[in-house]
């Protein structure tokens, strides 16, 4: 049986490069040869044992590649075509999908809903940090990449860009809004760019790492609050003349930033939560205004599917956003364990790493 290299979850604390069979495809699937992928913060949660997956699973959910083989029922694509697939790969036909909740796809369940059911790569099926990946429901998930765009230009579309932009979208930002974005990692930086695209006219980023502070301004932040030098709640209140922000986006997944994101909202404002939390969250009574502040709290799992990918590729192709600067390091697949070590420990100013064959 033909073999391929793949980054495999062995146990908490160990993801190793090993060999496993190249997957075959069913009638609705596609086999994609990976040309570029990357490592996500969620993969680090898996590595640390904070998010459980099966031992022996190939990790990764951000594929850019070339169609190697198509299932017998797949139409509208050709072998040799450059494509991406979202980190979320919905079936397209479940009740959840037909309601627009692709990330909660429950295909095969009695009622058609499953929490986080759209997230399959590196979660419930083998993922993308490998030489090949099987893409399920290919006609719902494969988005062609225009010839004029490089792999690195579209590398953020499957997850980081889709997730970050969804933070702005879930916040329902309007033209003229003031927005705070807590944490300027890759997702927070894309949330900052998304807020600018949606019409926010004042964007306040919260970050302490110098390289990320600089990048946040490049992605659209008007002000950056260094939380090691000033209390972010007090500083954002000062910058808004005591009013608070229309929308706050929490992009770290910690109790402290969630509370701060709630406390800086104006009455009637929206907290858009993108963080992956590893423990219970507590809502502070004062920040919640005892439940009488008309606040909205929205959570979001990265939107997926080919139409989402098409729109994000369009934003890249039009020049309205450029995520290439987020790729700070590059590794060959043979060195992915080294890449994990660098990324998980956040050394050398790393934002995102590009992994190529």
Encode pLDDT of 273-306 as tens digits. 998 888 899 999 999 999 999 999 999 999 999 9
> Mind listing the pLDDT tens digit for each residue in 302-327?
999 999 999 999 999 999 999 999 99
> Mind listing the pLDDT tens digit for each residue in 100-137?
999 999 999 999 999 999 999 999 999 999 999 999 99
Instruction: pLDDT band for 338, please (50, 70, 90 cuts).
Output: very high
Q: Mention every residue, 6+ apart, whose C-beta is less than 8 A from residue 135.
A: 29, 30, 31, 32, 63, 85, 89, 141, 142
**Cα 299 versus chain centre, distance:** 13
Q: Tokens 């062609």 label which residue?
A: 144
Structure tokens at 195: 């807020």
Compute the residue count for the chain.
Answer: 357
pLDDT of residue 295: 97
Q: Is the pLDDT of residue 343 over 90?
A: yes
Instruction: Tell me what the pLDDT averaged over the chain comes to.
Output: 97
pLDDT of residue 197: 97
Question: At 289, phi and psi to the nearest 5?
Answer: 50, 40
Instruction: For residues 73-81, give the mean pLDDT.
Output: 98
pLDDT of residue 279: 84
Give CA–CA dist 237/270, Å, rounded.
16
Give CA–CA dist 257/262, Å, rounded.
9
pLDDT of residue 277: 87
């Amino acid at each position: 049986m033909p073999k391929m290299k793949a980054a495999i979850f062995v146990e908490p604390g160990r993801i190793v490069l090993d060999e496993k069979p190249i997957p075959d495809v069913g009638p609705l699937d596609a086999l994609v040869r990976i040309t570029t992928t990357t490592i996500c913060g969620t993969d680090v949660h898996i590595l640390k044992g904070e998010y459980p997956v099966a031992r022996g699973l190939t990790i990764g959910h951000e594929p850019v590649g070339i169609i190697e083989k198509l299932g017998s029922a797949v139409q509208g694509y050709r072998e040799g075509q450059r494509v991406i697939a979202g980190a979320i790969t919905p079936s397209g036909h479940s009740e959840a999908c037909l309601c627009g909740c692709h990330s909660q796809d429950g295909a095969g369940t009695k009622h058609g809903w499953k929490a986080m059911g759209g997230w399959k790569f590196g979660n419930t099926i083998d993922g993308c940090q490998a030489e090949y990946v099987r893409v399920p429901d290919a006609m719902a998930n494969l988005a062609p990449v225009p010839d004029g765009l490089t792999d690195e230009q579209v590398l953020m579309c499957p997850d980081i860009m889709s997730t970050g932009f969804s933070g702005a979208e879930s916040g329902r930002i309007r033209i003229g809004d003031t927005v705070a974005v807590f944490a300027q990692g890759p997702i927070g930086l894309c949330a900052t760019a998304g807020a600018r695209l949606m019409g926010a006219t004042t964007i306040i980023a919260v970050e302490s790492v110098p390289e990320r502070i600089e990048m946040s301004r490049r992605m659209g932040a008007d002000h950056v609050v260094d939380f090691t030098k000033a209390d972010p709640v007090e500083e954002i209140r000062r910058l808004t003349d005591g009013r608070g922000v229309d929308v706050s986006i929490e992009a770290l997944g910690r109790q402290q930033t969630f509370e701060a994101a709630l406390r800086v909202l104006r009455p009637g404002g929206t907290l858009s939560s993108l963080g992956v939390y590893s423990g219970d969250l507590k809502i502070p009574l004062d920040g919640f205004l005892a439940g009488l502040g008309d606040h909205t709290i929205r959570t979001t799992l990265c939107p997926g599917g080919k139409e989402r990918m098409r729109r994000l590729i369009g934003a890249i192709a039009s020049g309205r956003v450029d995520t290439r600067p987020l790729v700070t390091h590059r590794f060959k697949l043979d060195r992915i364990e080294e890449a994990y070590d660098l990324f998980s420990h956040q050394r050398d100013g790393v934002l995102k790493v590009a992994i190529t064959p």
